[in-house]
């Protein structure tokens, strides 16, 4: 689940840090811009969609995407 994309790694890391303070495990994906902020590793799109629905209830917007071209 992608919840943001930033022009610098530092901006993306700040977003990750904010999520961590809310108890949400997030990470920065990518080594060049855009630096994507993603949550979770899900086996199916349905699993990711269910997780995203929960994040939206917390006020966190995003979308389901596949990581690494998978």
The pLDDT of residue 68 is: 61
- The encoded tokens of residue 23 equal 């108890």
Q: What does the CA dihedral 26, 18, 30, 39 come to, rounded to 10 degrees?
A: 20
With contact defined as beta carbons under 8 Å apart, do 12 and 36 qualify?
Answer: yes
The pLDDT of residue 66 is: 86
H or E element at residue 56:
helix 45-57
Q: Average pLDDT, stretch 14-23?
A: 97
Q: pLDDT (tens digit, 9 = 90+) per residue, 23-69?
A: 999 999 999 999 999 999 999 999 999 999 999 999 999 999 987 64
């Amino acid at each position: 689940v992608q919840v943001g994309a930033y022009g610098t790694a530092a901006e993306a890391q700040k977003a990750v840090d904010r999520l961590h303070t809310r108890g949400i495990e997030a990470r920065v994906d990518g080594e060049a811009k855009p630096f994507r902020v993603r949550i979770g590793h899900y086996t199916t799109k349905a699993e990711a969609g269910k997780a995203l629905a929960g994040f939206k209830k917390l006020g966190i917007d995003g979308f389901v995407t596949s990581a690494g071209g998978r």
